[in-house]
Chain A
Amino acid sequence: MTGRRPEPPEARAVQARDRRVLARLISMVENGDPRARPIQKALYPHTGHARIVGITGPLGVGKSSLVNALLGVLRARGVRVGIIGVDPTSPFSGGSVLGDRIRIDRAGGDEGVFFRSMASRGHTGGIAATTREVARLLDAFGMDIVLVETVGSGQVDVEIRRIASTSVVVLVPHLGDGVQSLKAGLFEIADVFTINKADLPGADGAARYLSEMTALGAGPDGWTPPVVQCSTVEGRGIEDLWKAVEAHEAFLDSGPGRARGEEARARAEIVDRVTGRIGLRLDGLLEENRELRELLGQVLDRSLDPGTASDRIYAALRHRL
């Protein structure tokens, strides 16, 4: 039965743009607090309006500065902007210094902006899952655009595709050799390339190189990522960067891209959530269940290889899935 319950008051407060309630709810989501669930559930039908744009790239290339510059462009047009800045957690202390916010200068009390810093600390289901939920809350809060800044080394940058409809990859000229040795991965991530710090020498060369690379083959969807040069210190190229983002969004709307992307993301999210829980359950069974423990023991004393052990476990569990 899907009996209609009254909306939790927090859900109504978020829609009424109560900033403290939103901020607390984000903390609950970050901390895996189960009390957030009914609120998220009530808010979900009110999401889907915001466009989520990823800004990713190596350390220090100027991602936050670009976010700040884009914020200026968007606020001047009256667009409401949510921002999520993700920074790595120190593996040693579990603490972190979250510094993306330092680059943001905005009018005090501007209600059309909500910036949240997030540490990549051990989120259940991974940082991408939490980021997606937080972006959704900003969407329900009434933001038109959610910018997600992530550092592009490791998992997060690849996972940005699972959250954002447009991903901007930020590079700088003096990555010179870097640009040429770019992991193929970046080309799969990028819907738009930015060469930031174009006030420094080498920007034209880097842009040309990237353009040649992207021209080699449009992606499977038929989109060729444009390459935009920017300088946040000179305030140059920012409008062009946003135009490129809008062009990609328009491209998605003009063909099957939007629907395909949304379906792929929804599928991935469901698969992640369910496999996450199955994984936890299985891990528990390896502890509790005698037969599974025996198989584990055989792997440990090398009388059985992990592949065969897994095949057996899968075969035993399959009919229950």
Chain B
Amino acid sequence: MPREKKEAPIRVLIAKPGLDGHDRGAKVVARALRDSGMEVIYVGLRQTPEAIVDSAIEEDVDLVGLSILSGAHMVLFPRILKLLKERRAADIPVFAGGIIPDEDARRLRRAGVKAIFGPGARLDEIVTTARSIARRHA
């Protein structure tokens, strides 16, 4: 059978670093991204920054989305960005979702987080933004 030459789908890693809470929000976002045609590598809760970066590299994702509820974002995000850089993977964009105070959000953006969504963000807005910041393969 001839197959339609289709564009390669965007691959995105969704994780929830840190030790607390549930991953309901991350799952909802994962499903919305899937429904928009992306391949979502879902690794769920309690991921260490090292594990997240391992996954991002091995899965050759175009994008990493991190959900976070705890106050640990100011430690975890910079750590993940630093590891990506160390492993020559700083070209993989990172976005974030969760409860992040404005001042922290500004600092994270400056540190390289591409987009940040609060708890009230609409799913279609997240999907559209994710699509626009995803790295595409040459």
Contact = CB atoms under 8 A, between A and B. Distances in A.
Contact of A114 (B6, B37, B58): B58
Interface residues of A, number: 36
Nearest to A25: B60
Contacts of B137: 24, 27, 31
B37 A102 contact: no
Nearest to A32: B5
Contacts of B37: 93-95
Contact of B58 (A97, A105, A115, A122): A115
Interface stretch (B27-35, B70-78, B105-113): B27-35
A97 B40 contact: yes
Contact of B39 (A96, A279, A280): A96
B115 interface: no
Secondary structure class of chain B's binding surface, majority of residues = mixed
Given A19-B58, A283-B1, A108 B40 contact: no
A306 to B, nearest CB: 16
Interface string A102-128: 100110111000111101011010000
Given A121-B9, A283-B2, A96 B58 contact: no
A284 B2 CA distance: 9
B59 interface: yes
B124 interface: no
Contacts of A90: 34-35
Interface residues of B, number: 37
Nearest to B59: A117
B57 to A, nearest CB: 6
A26 interface: yes
A20 B88 contact: yes
Contacts of A217: none
A99 interface: yes
Nearest to B56: A23
Contacts of A23: 57-60
Interface string B43-58: 1100011110111011
Interface in B90-122: none
Interface of B: 1-4, 6, 8-9, 11, 30-31, 33-44, 48-51, 53-55, 57-60, 87-89, 137
Given A90-B35, A108-B50, 11 more contacts: A19-B58, A20-B60, A24-B137, A95-B34, A95-B40, A102-B43, A105-B51, A117-B59, A119-B39, A122-B6, A124-B3
21 contacts: A20-B57, A20-B89, A23-B60, A24-B137, A26-B60, A27-B137, A31-B8, A90-B34, A93-B35, A95-B38, A95-B40, A96-B39, A97-B30, A97-B31, A106-B51, A109-B50, A116-B58, A117-B59, A121-B9, A121-B39, A124-B3
Closest 5 CB pairs of A and B: A108-B50, A95-B34, A23-B60, A31-B8, A102-B44
